[in-house]
Every structure is written in C-alpha cells, then in structure tokens.
Amino acid sequence: MKLRRSRLDALIADQEHLSAVTRENIEAIQLEKLNRLLSREADRGGFYRGLPERIGSLAELSSLPFTTEEDLARHPGGLLLCSQAEVQRVLSDATSGTTGAAKRVFYTEGDLENTVQLYMAGLGELIFPGSVTMICFSFSGPFGLGELISEAITRLGATPLKLGCALSYGEYAAVMEKEKPDTFVGMPVQLLSILRACGRHSVQRALVSGDACPKSIMRGCESLLSSRLFPHYGSREMGMAGAICCSAHEGMHLRENHIIAEIVDEDGRGLPWGEWGELVITTIGMEAMPLIRYRTGDITRFFSDPCPCGSETLRLDTVKRKKSGTPMPAASFSSSLLSASDLDEILFADECIVDCRYDLLCNELSVQALTVGAVDKDAVLSRIQDVAPSLSVTLSCRSLCPDDQILYFGKRSL
C-alpha cells in the first residue's frame, strides 16, 4: 500500500510557494532565511551583533557560537527581533538554570499562526472532519497551548473538547462516556493513566507531546488503543511546534522551513545523520525571537534512510531530555544520572499502575503509585534496584479513587 506523504510537505510547499519539496530547495530556503536573519541582526546590533552578516553555505553555520538557556534568561530584550508592540504572547519559565532569572520566549501573531498551521498538518494525520477530540493540555488563556491546538482542530472541521489536565479520573470518564471522543491529544503518561483508570471508551487514536515517551508507555498506550501513537515534538523556543509524525510512524518530520537542525556531541562537535546527540536549532522562521544554534538539551538523532512516505524532510527519532540535576550516588549506575523517564519505563511496565510520583532525597527514593489491581511490588522494586543499586527504595501503592488526579500536571521529574 502506498503511504500518503507527510502533510508537512504540503504545508511547506504552500508557505514557500514550491511545487515540490526536495532537500535541494529546502536547503536553499534555509540558507536564504538564515542570511536574511544574520543581516537583520547585524543591522540592529542586538544579542547576535558580533556574527557575520552572511555565510556562504549551510556548512558554515557550525562556525557560529551556540546560544544557551542561560542566554535566554539573561538577554530576553537583546534577543527580541520585533517591537514590543508586535509581541502577542510571552512564555516565562520558572526553571532558571544558574542565573536566577526566568527564561522568557516571545511570539508574534505570525509565530502563533505558524504554530496552528503545523498543528493542523500533524493533527490532520489522525483527525477528520466530524471527529471529536479530547485535549488534555493546559488551557492558560488566549494563545496558550490548549487554545492553539483547539484552533487547529476547529479549522480541520472537528470538535475540540477542552478538558485540560486537572480533571479527576472520574470526571474524565464521565466526559468520555457522554461526548464519545475518537481522538486524544495530550502527554504520553497522562494518556496511559487515563486509559488504565477510565478505560478506552470510544477513543481510537492519539497524538502525544509535551514530555518524554518511554517505550513501555508507548507500548501500553498502543496496545490499549489498538493503534499506533502519533508523537509530536515541540519546544517553546520553536513556537511549541517542531516535528510531526506521518502515517509511516517512523520518526517525526521536522518543519525545516522554520528550523535548521543539527546534532552535536557533548563538546559541541557536529555528528552525522544516524548518531545520537543533542539537538541544536536555528529558528529561521520565528519572527519575534529567532535563535541561532540554540542548544535544546534534548537528545535525539536524525534518521538517515528515506521515509516510506516519500517526504525528504529530516526526521527526528524519539526525543529524551538530557539528564541533569539528579546525580546518582552509585558509581555503578550506567550513566550516573537517573531520570523520571528511567523510572517510568520500569513502573508502567506493570499494567496495574495508573500513575506514580517520585521523590529522591540523598540516596532515598520514595515512589507512590496509584493502582488498579495488585502490583507485583517485589518485581518492580527489584527492577529499580537493578538500575540504581545504591538507592534505598520504598514503593507505596494505593488503590485509585474516582477523585484522584494525574500526579504531574507538567513534565515528569524526580
């Protein structure tokens, strides 16, 4: 069966006035937009004033310095390329690195419109006119994530159910029973928790984003839905919209007319396609706050083989956060750092666990789990000890009540 080409190709062709999207014309567009950006930055004397006004090839991009999360916290004004009056929305991050200042990202109306258009391309793979879609991302006011997704769903001729992430399981179940959604949009663990706590009801397909998606979570969701998940990747720095899954389900196609992507090793050296490393982005399509060689802290790789759907855009493999902030006392632990994803991978492999919360203090890890049925506690504890042998681990389980809520409203952490 011939697969339909990723809807991203049609979007890029439309936005860039192309008859076909090839590597050659994508890269020509990237170089042209990058040089336009460098020239504007040189003119205005902002944060990037020391950079050359133009470069001769995309390969020369690697000679420019990186931009870091600290820079976003320290120089928000210097990084803003449009006027304050043109800023439609600002996202502030409580996590501040070492500066004590909050990281801020700005968007114009055009940036947010581009985000909605990418959501339409990604959601268009699984949502059809007449679909009813439950949105379980937060609704934080006009132009918030939930609202932008809702707008994309409405434009696709479908009905958005704006549920957010703070309902109780009993409330989710009641809405699913009454409104009969066929699709879900939200975070991966949240989807698995809802499916295990409430049952599948009429939900058939799901787009997941916003957090890491460990393999046991993905397998659990796909088995309960009897369909493949559509993962999406986006970060605030790229307008919350970066890469979408096509019907081949082999990675996520990157919106390359807005983002030039590189993969680098820990020392910042470029890595070839196929190798795992940190994703570095140059956001040539962002109007308010374009970034040059921003180190995302996300670990992934580019697929090196062509996608069966025929699109020539770069595809990202699974994305994980770079491990930081939780050093393990055990020298024997393979990476010396433990993440919530590592623990999720173990805990959710037990089908009776609906959700769990982690607290790590010195070398004591406390895990609280909400359950439906009897968890094999010995097996779970033994698997945690396998990856973290020097930790003292306690696991407490409680049966789920309808009033319980999801334990992490945002990204899962230790």
Q: Which residues bind Zn ion (CB under 5 A)?
A: 6, 246, 248, 307, 309, 311
Structural contact between residues 147 and 194, judged by C-beta atoms closer than 8 angstroms: no
Q: Which is nearer to Zn ion, 136 or 307 (CB)?
A: 307
Q: Which is nearer to Zn ion, 6 or 296 (CB)?
A: 6
Q: Residue 28: CB partners within 8 Å, gap ≥ 6?
A: none
Structural contact between residues 37 and 292, judged by C-beta atoms closer than 8 angstroms: yes
What is the closest distance, in whole angstroms, from the C-beta atom of residue 33 to Zn ion in the complex?
23
What is the closest distance, in whole angstroms, from the C-beta atom of residue 126 to Zn ion in the complex?
14
Query: What three-state secondary structure class fits 241?
Result: coil
Question: What residues form DSSP beta bridges with 205?
Answer: 183
Q: Which is nearer to Zn ion, 309 or 384 (CB)?
A: 309
In angstroms, rounded to a whole number, what is the distance separating the alpha carbons of residues 138 and 117? Answer: 20
What is the closest distance, in whole angstroms, from the C-beta atom of residue 7 to Zn ion in the complex?
10
What is the closest distance, in whole angstroms, from the C-beta atom of residue 307 to Zn ion in the complex?
3
**CA angle in degrees (0–180, nearest 5) for 322-326-328:** 110
Among 148, 163, 154, 149, which Cα is nearest to 131's?
A: 154
Q: Which is nearer to Zn ion, 3 or 352 (CB)?
A: 3
Among 128, 119, 169, 172, which Cα is nearest to 146's?
A: 119
Q: Which is nearer to Zn ion, 120 or 288 (CB)?
A: 120
Structural contact between residues 268 and 277, judged by C-beta atoms closer than 8 angstroms: no
What is the closest distance, in whole angstroms, from the C-beta atom of residue 140 to Zn ion in the complex?
32
Q: Residue 100: CB partners within 8 Å, gap ≥ 6?
A: none
Q: Which is nearer to Zn ion, 21 or 395 (CB)?
A: 21
Beta strands in 126-204 (DSSP E): 132-135, 159-162, 183-186
What is the closest distance, in whole angstroms, from the C-beta atom of residue 253 to Zn ion in the complex?
6
Q: Which is nearer to Zn ion, 302 or 358 (CB)?
A: 302
Among 243, 285, 290, 6, which Cα is nearest to 118's?
A: 243
Both tokens of 408, joined, read: 């992490």
Q: Which is nearer to Zn ion, 33 or 253 (CB)?
A: 253
Cross-sheet strand order for the sheet of 392-399? 353-361, 364-371, 392-399
Structural contact between residues 364 and 391, judged by C-beta atoms closer than 8 angstroms: yes
Q: Please state the separation of Cα 294 from the chain's center in Å.
A: 16
Q: Which is nearer to Zn ion, 38 or 307 (CB)?
A: 307
User: 23: buried, middle or exposed (CB in 10 Å: 19+, 13-18, 0-12)?
Assistant: exposed
What is the closest distance, in whole angstroms, from the C-beta atom of residue 259 to Zn ion in the complex?
17
Q: Residue 223: CB partners within 8 Å, gap ≥ 6?
A: none
What is the closest distance, in whole angstroms, from the C-beta atom of residue 5 to Zn ion in the complex?
7
What is the closest distance, in whole angstroms, from the C-beta atom of residue 248 to Zn ion in the complex?
4
